[in-house]
Structure 1
Amino acid sequence: MRKVEVVPYNPQWRDAFAREKQQVWQALGDNVVAIHHIGSTAIPGIYAKPIIDLLVEVKEIAKIDQYNLSMEALGYEAMGEFGIPGRRYFRKNNAAGVRTHHVHAFEAGEPEVAKHLAFRDYTIAHWEDAQQYSDLKRELARKYPYDIDSYMDGKHEFIQQMNAKAAEWRESQKIDWYTP
Structure 2
Amino acid sequence: MTVDVVDYDPGWPARFTDERKRLQRALGDAAARIEHVGSTSVPGLAAKPVIDILVGTHDLSRLDGRNAEMIAAGFQVRGENGICGRRYYRRHAPDGTRLVHVHAYLEGSEDFRRHLVFRDYLHAHPVSAAIYGQHKAAIVAAGPLGREDYSAAKAGLVAQIERDALAWAAGRRKVPSS
Aligning the two structures, in what range does the TM-score lie when normalised by the shorter sequence?
Answer: over 0.9
Distance (Å, rounded) in 1 between the aligned partners of 2:97 and 2:18: 18
Offset of 1:62 from its aligned partner? 1.7
2:121 is matched with which residue? 122
Match of 1:26, as an amino acid?
R
1:156 aligns with 2:155: yes
- 3-state SS of paired residue (1:11): coil
Counterpart AA for 1:58: T
Runs of 4+ with >4 A deviation: none
Do 1:144 and 1:151's aligned partners in 2 also have CA atoms closer than 8 Å? no
1:100 maps onto 2:99 in alignment: yes
SS of structure 1 residue aligned to 2:2: coil
- Deviation track 1:53-95 (CA, whole Å, cap 9, x = no partner) reads 1100011012211111111111111110011110000011101
Partner of 2:22: 23
Task: Specify the alignment match of 2:146 in structure 1.
Answer: 147
Partner of 1:178: none
Rounded to whole Å, the distance in 2 between the matches of 1:98 and 1:84 is 23
TM-score (norm 1): 0.92
**SS at 1:19 equivalent:** helix
Match of 2:168 in 1: 169
RMSD: 1.2
Q: How many residues align?
A: 172
3-state SS of 2:32 partner: strand
* Residue of structure 2 in register with 1:72 after alignment: 71
Q: TM-score, normalised by structure 2?
A: 0.93
Instruction: Tell me the percent identity.
Output: 37
SS across alignment from 1:62: helix
Residue type of the alignment partner of 2:150: Y
Equivalent position of 1:40 in the other structure: 39
Consecutive unaligned residues of structure 1, counting only runs of 5 or more, are 174-180
Q: Is the 8 A contact 2:50 2:100 kept in 1?
A: yes
User: Can you give the 5+ residue segments of structure 2 that lack an aligned partner in the other structure?
Assistant: 173-178
> Could you tell me how far apart the structure 1 residues matched to 2:149 and 2:166 are?
26
Q: In 1, Cα distance between the equivalents of 2:160 and 2:39? A: 16
Give the Cα separation in 2 of the matches to 1:48 and 1:21.
Answer: 19
> What is the CA-CA distance between 1:143 and the residue it aligns to?
2.2
Instruction: State the match for 2:61 in structure 1.
Output: 62
Q: Taking structure 1 as reference, are residues 39 and 146 closer, same or farther at Cα in structure 2, changes over 3 Å only?
A: same
SS in 2 for 1:77: strand
